[in-house]
A and B are shown apart, each in its own frame.
Chain A
Amino acid sequence: MAAGALTTFGPAVPGDAARARALRLLLIAPVVVLIVVFLVLPYLNIVVMSIRVPSTRAPYAPGFTPDNYLRALTDSLYLGALARSLAIGAATAFFCLVLGYPVAYHLARTNARFKGLLFAAVLSPLLVGVVIRSYGWIIILANNGIINQTLRGLGWIDSPVRLMYNEFGVMLALVHVFLPFMILPLTGAIQSIDPNLEAAARSLGAPRWRVFTRIVLPLSMPGIQSGTILVFVLAVSAYVTPMLLGGGNVQTMATLVVQQLVDAFLWPVGAALALILSLAGACSVAIYARLTARTMRRLGP
């Protein structure tokens, strides 16, 4: 009797645990299948493609070669683009963090009635497709765009200020669209920090900026980490924005990959470049995770 009653509190019967596990596996199966079919298999295909011999008449010529990689890693055009991609990714993540943090803090701490509205505003960049959004930026930033016309109308400038077809325009547009990916995880992380911790720190003599650097910032590290990684990865691999707002002046690895695939029709070269970009991005993330690991460990399991 007693033993029978106890089993209702947990999976004490072996069959129960097994069934619970089977159910869990069943529930994650769709995602696993999606990932295998649409990510792992294509990736394997790309890996194979990247060591094939390029050809201009067919997708590839017979045989295998390491040349695609050797060329990419010795040519300063490709290395420069790789460095630019990583730099744009890191800078975009940094500016999203700096600009997004105050918004996230406010969202996490406010109980104002227009909180929902603010959330909607934060998410709004995602509501417009990337091409339309980029053209929107072009209307604003172009030499005869809104900003330059206004400045000229005011008589502040004679010749237009170059606001796009350079890194500045690309980054501005990237920061704008990826801000939500920074703000949402940050808001979640800050929300889970007990406001009494800030009060406690103040009562112990910490001025506001100290409360921020010693309490809020380290405790929001999980949000900072996921936000920056997310934005970095998205910005590094962004194609349309650098293409349209860079106008060929901002060569990133992503634009080069498409150039190789579509314009030059050199699939193996494009595949090698794509893999190098992926690997470089993954390594950067790994190094970053290492650097932040110490703070994260203190936060406990």
Chain B
Amino acid sequence: MTRLSISGLAKRFDKVAVLKGFDLEIANGELISLLGPSGCGKTTTLRCIAGFEQPSSGRIEFDGADVVRLPAEKRDIGMVFQNYALFPHMTVAENLAFGLEMRKVAKPEIERRTAEVLKLVQLSDLGGRYPRQLSGGQQQRVALARALVIEPKLLLLDEPLANLDAKLREEMRFFIRSLQRRVGITTVYVTHDQAEAMVISDRIVVMFGGEIAQIGSAGDVYDRPASRQVASFIGLSNFIDGTVDGMDGEYCNVDTRLGRMRCRAGGAPAKGTAASILARPEVIVLSSTEPQDVNRARATVAERYFLGNMIDYRLDCGDGVVMQTQQPPHKVFEVGASVWFAIPAGQTWLLAR
């Protein structure tokens, strides 16, 4: 098993900087996901680690040994591609055997390990099939099995679930996660689906424009995002702009257009700093009578959408401020009704503006 450390990784294509020199440490057995919008450099990062792309500068180390000069076939990496990249002219068993044959493993041993891994991904009966005779989900698992059967140092997955339907995608998340735990392999998982990243990873690396915006657990990036950009990329958010008036323990008083508000803060911003309060739609509490909370304001229900487990409201708070909130469906507010809303201070987060 392997510890992966990346330092100063930069990659330019024709002078366009796609990766802008970042550092990343991944512990032995850890699963981290690279999460970011399309074109932010996730695949490029993965391809640099795999050895398909030569970094313009920086180091990539497996257990402290630099591999940048090592060709892809010598890096001992299992990779799962978005389109699976199964060899169409080989059966499932032959696809799995390929990596072992390249390692000159003996025939009986190949058969044993292939069967073992096929069992692990629950495809024992399908060894003789060609990839074209499998469903998308089965192909996905074959790709996973083919990457794992060589017992690689590192597992790299590039949006492995992107081509599956929503239901299967959800199942496979848990499947991949539990498989990875069982095998205990260090894994880098690329996705642009935040829910997937949250379920599957030990830590999430949020990337924008070739740089790392934040590294942290699902809780960190959701509840304590490093920037407004991270906050709006992950989950739904309301931002209430204001000016810092002073600190009160780990809380901060902010003057906003909705009045004075109390807000959780990571640091201690100076009085007068321009800031935004992050309030996730589901932490806001709606009521028809005035709440006791410090952070409260009046609003009019402007729009209402039924989501099944939640009702989504757009609140017109006056002064051009619109808030989005999601409420449990047991109490319903009519469009046009005048309501109170409260934002519990403990569930807010102060961001620089």
Contacts and interface: CB of A to CB of B under 8 A. Distances in A.
Nearest to A299: B89
Interface stretch (B34-42, B75-83, B331-339): B75-83
A57 interface: no
Interface residues of A, number: 21
Interface string B66-99: 0000011111111101010111111000000011
B42 to A, nearest CB: 15
A139 interface: no
A203 B50 contact: yes
B103 interface: yes
Contact of A204 (B52, B83, B102, B130): B102
A219 B88 CA distance: 8
A205 B102 contact: yes
Contacts, number: 71
Contacts of A300: 88, 130, 132
B150 interface: yes
Contacts of A206: 73, 98, 102
Interface of A is mostly: helix
A219 B90 CA distance: 10
A202 B73 contact: yes
B59 interface: no
Interface string B133-158: 00000000000001100100000000
A151 interface: no
A201 B88 contact: no
A280 interface: no
Contacts of B89: 218-219, 295, 298-299
A196 B81 contact: yes
Interface size class of B (residues with CB under 8 A): 20 to 34
Given A203-B78, A204-B98, A196 B73 contact: no
A109 interface: no
| Max chain B Cβ within 10 angstroms of own Cβ: one of A200, A203, A205, A300 | A203
Interface string A196-227: 11011111111100100011001100000000
A194 B146 CA distance: 17
A214 B90 CA distance: 10
| Max chain B Cβ within 10 angstroms of own Cβ: one of A200, A204, A298, A299 | A204
Interface string A259-301: 0000000000000000000000000000000000001001110
A215 B102 contact: no
B73 A200 contact: no
A232 B56 CA distance: 47
Contacts of B103: 205
A189 B99 CA distance: 25
| Max chain A Cβ within 10 angstroms of own Cβ: one of B79, B89, B98 | B89
A202 B72 contact: yes
Contact of A299 (B47, B51, B74, B88): B88
A196 B99 contact: no
A207 B75 CA distance: 11
A205 B52 contact: no
